[in-house]
Amino acid sequence: MNAVVHLRQTFRPVTDWLVPLMNELKTNALASSSAKAEQLARNQFWFRQILRSQRRDKTCLPHFLGLSTSEFHWMAAGKRYRLYDELLHDTEAERERQASDLRQQLLEMRLDEWEELRNLLLGHRANNDDSEVAIASVVAAGCLGGGHLWRDLGLVSRQELNDLLSANFPVLAARNDRDMKWKKFFYKQLCELGGGYVCRAPSCDQCSAYSDCFGPET
C-alpha cells in the first residue's frame, strides 16, 4: 500500500465526524444569527411604536423611554426612525431635556423599584439579541405608571404587549398562565422574591384584592 492511500485511510474516520460537526455548527450559527436579526427587527418595531406614542403624549414614559441616551440612540438607529430629530444626538440638549423631564425625575425617585423590575425581566430574557436589554428598561419604566401596562407603554392592545413579553422574556411571560394583569403579575413575582410590593394575603384565592389583580385589561 502506498503512503498516500495509507494516510487517507488513517484520516477518513476524522473527516467522517468532522464534516458533519462543521455542518451542524454552521447550521446552528445561521439559525442563531437569524433569531438575532428577527428579535432586533421585532424590538425596533415595538420601540418605534412606543416612541411614537410617547411623542404624542400617550404613555407614562419619559422622553428617552427609561433608557440611557446612548441606549436610546442605539435603538433609534432604524432607518424608518428618521422622522424624528433625536438622531442628531446633541448631548448638551439631551442633558438639559433629561434634567427638565418631570417623568424622568419621577423615574429617578423610584429607581430601586425600576431596577428590581428590570432585573426581574433581564433574569428571564430570551438571549437572542441585546435589544432585549433596552426593552426590559422600557417595560420597567412603563410599570411605574398608573394605568394598564400596554396603555402606559403606548402599545395598541394588551395582545401586543403579550407578544412583546413572550418574544423577549418567554419563560416569565409563560408563567402568567392565569392571565393576571401584567403589572400585578410582575409585582407579585417581586413579592415572592421578598420585595413585599403587592400581596396582602398568602394566596390569591383568599385575597380581598383579587379583582384588582385578575380580569381584563381594557
Distance of CA 187 to the CA centre of its chain: 17
**Which CB, 121 or 213, lies closer to ligand SF4?**
213
Note whether 186 and 178 are within 8 A (CB).
no
Q: Is 78 helix (H, G, I), strand (E, B) or coil?
A: coil
d(CA 153, CA 182): 12
145-164 binders of ligand SF4 (CB under 6 A) = none
**CB nearer ligand SF4, residue 65 or residue 213:** 213
Give the shortest CB-19-to-ligand SF4 separation in angstroms.
Answer: 55
Considering the complex, what minimum distance in angstroms separates the CB of residue 70 from ligand SF4? 36
Query: What Å distances lie between residue 25 and 17, 31, 49, 126, CA to CA?
Result: 12, 10, 36, 20
d(CA 97, CA 134): 20
Is residue 204 within the footprint of ligand SF4 (CB under 6 A)?
yes
Single residue of 1, 4, 200, 218 touching ligand SF4 by CB under 6 A: 200
210 binding ligand SF4? (CB under 6 A): yes
Q: Determine, following the binding rule CB under 6 A, whether residue 198 of this chain makes contact with ligand SF4.
A: yes
Does residue 175 belong to the site contacting ligand SF4 (CB under 6 A)? no
Q: Please tell me the distance from the alpha carbon of residue 166 to that of residue 107, in angstroms, as a whole number.
A: 25
List contacts with ligand SF4 (CB under 6 A): 184, 188, 198-201, 204, 207, 209-210, 213
